[in-house]
Structure 1
Amino acid sequence: MGLGGISIWQLLIILAIVVMLFGTKRLRTLGGDLGSAIKGFRKSMQDDDEVAKKPEAEDDTSPASTPGEDNGKP
């Protein structure tokens, strides 16, 4: 028994039918498109995490607490 009651032979037959229907060139382009979509999704998730962390770091460095800067106080 394979995954969920599907044997490896049934999966191979399904794969062969899909290749015959779509052809290898079209499957290759679909795979490339899917890969680039996943890569773009991961990049946007990392960008969102960086944006979420950035305001916390900016709050720690306010202009009044910058060392070496004269704030007009005697």
Structure 2
Amino acid sequence: MLSEMASEILAYLRDTHRLPGARLRITTLDERFGTDPAVAVAISELARAGYVATPDAGTIELTPRGYEALVSGRP
């Protein structure tokens, strides 16, 4: 089960970046959710679960598994 913040990030991806491989800058998440340390923890949680990859320190990328979770509505 994902934390509330991780679920909110996935919901944001569902609304804005619905393609596998879609990239999102961390600064965009900071603008949306603030610079709360919980955002960084949630990103780590999503990466460990395989929903996003972190190709560099400033970007997350939606993985095929993350895309399937968005489509099915069941992370």
- For the aligned pair, the TM-score class normalised by the smaller chain equals under 0.3
Greater per-residue helix proportion = 1
Task: Tell which structure's C-alpha radius of gyration is larger.
Answer: 1
Greater per-residue strand proportion = 2
